[in-house]
A and B are shown apart, each in its own frame.
Chain A
Amino acid sequence: MQNTNKNSQLLWGLGFGIVFGFLLQKGGVTRHDVIVRQLLLTEHTVLIVMLSAMLTGMIGLHIFKAFGLVKLAPKSGSISQNVIGGLTFGIGFALLGYCPGTLAGAIGNGYLDALLGGLPGILIGAGLFAALYPKLQSKILKAGYFGDLTLPRLFNVKDWVVVVPAAVLILLLLILLQ
């Protein structure tokens, strides 16, 4: 029983991935140029895709959460983790022109710089991190630790007090980016 369930979840993962990859490719974000133009702020496809996903997802997930249908799992973090890690990621984002998900999409799209440059690179980068992890873990990664805090818990308000204004803000931003 346990095993069948695990196998069916692996199949669900594959199926969700196929849809995700299909959408990413149709959105144009498996292309280096689309991502770099976003970072050069000359085209906003990446932000539009992300913000539309965020808006749709945020509203749905919080409704499901209110009905007890889903359990959210916000990641824990720290200032050093998310700021330094975020900036490091950003450097790679600009140099490579793909992020991990769109890298997989770019490989499917036939882009060889993704397959033979980005993919080995990301494996090396992740391996380096794993090698350094014992040294980083107890000190620098914990600096400014705030755990799995969410915006509603930070302000100590009900989810909707954040979700509704955030939805309005994202919607305004999406109209602005048009």
Chain B
Amino acid sequence: MEFLAAERWSPYLVGIGIGLLSWLTFLISQKPLACSTTFAKSSGMLERAIRGREVADKPYYREITLGIDWQFMLVIGIVLGSLASALLSGSFKLQWVPSLWDEVFGSAILPRLLVSLMGGIFLGFGARWANGCTSGHGISGTMQLAISSWVSAIFFFIGGIIVAQIIF
């Protein structure tokens, strides 16, 4: 059981594990590993809780339908699985500012939070525009050889690499 407490596993092994996991999600649930629709549903459900039922009638929410589904549970599971792994290896820590960010921009919390917020907005908007994220397109879609996913995955990295080179 010692390997469960290791801080890191080989990224090759982790990738193979995720690949095998996607066999199971297809065989058992007829679903790909994917995450970003859940954030759109959450956003819609939150807005519905604040502004009332008619929010669910927005064309986009009618298309994706609001509610707790398989993928929603998958995302909850990711939080729990990561927490379990971090606790087992002692790498769980409450951290405001990542160390690479700290080296470049300093340890102030507010700038990091604001840029995270802005990054999140681009990420959420872009994932919906592209109809998928690094898991839905980048892993699950590319392995199905979907053109939409290969194009998206390539442009996720093109955009990311350009912006990272500029700001860091």
A57 to B100: give the CA distance in the assembly, Å.
Answer: 32
Write out, one digit per residue, whether chain B residues 14-51 have a CB within 8 A of any chain A CB (1) or not (0).
11111111111111111111011011101110110000
Residues of B within 8 A of A114 (CB): 116
Given the interface contacts A18-B80, A20-B74, A52-B16, does A123 sit within 8 Å of B123 by beta carbon?
no
A33 to B105: give the CA distance in the assembly, Å.
Answer: 13
Using a CB-CB cutoff of 8 Å, which residues 38-77 of chain B contact chain A?
38-40, 42-44, 46-47, 58-61, 68-77
Given the interface contacts A20-B21, A126-B39, does A74 sit within 8 Å of B145 by beta carbon?
yes
Query: Could you tell me if A121 and B81 are in contact, using CB atoms closer than 8 angstroms?
Result: no
Total cross-chain contacts (CB, 8 A) = 526
Query: Could you tell me if B119 and A97 are in contact, using CB atoms closer than 8 angstroms?
Result: yes
Residues of A within 8 A of B81 (CB): 17-25, 105, 108
A18 to B128: give the CA distance in the assembly, Å.
Answer: 24
Residues of B within 8 A of A61 (CB): 22-23, 26, 143-144
- Give A residues with C-beta under 8 Å from B: 9-33, 36-37, 39-41, 45, 48-58, 60-61, 64, 69-79, 81-114, 116-131, 133-134, 136-137, 141, 146, 148-152, 154, 159, 162-163, 166, 174
22 A–B pairs (Cβ distance < 8 Å), ordered by A: A14-B74, A20-B18, A20-B74, A30-B82, A45-B11, A49-B11, A50-B138, A51-B15, A53-B17, A58-B145, A70-B26, A81-B129, A89-B159, A91-B122, A92-B124, A102-B134, A109-B91, A110-B86, A113-B95, A126-B127, A127-B124, A150-B147
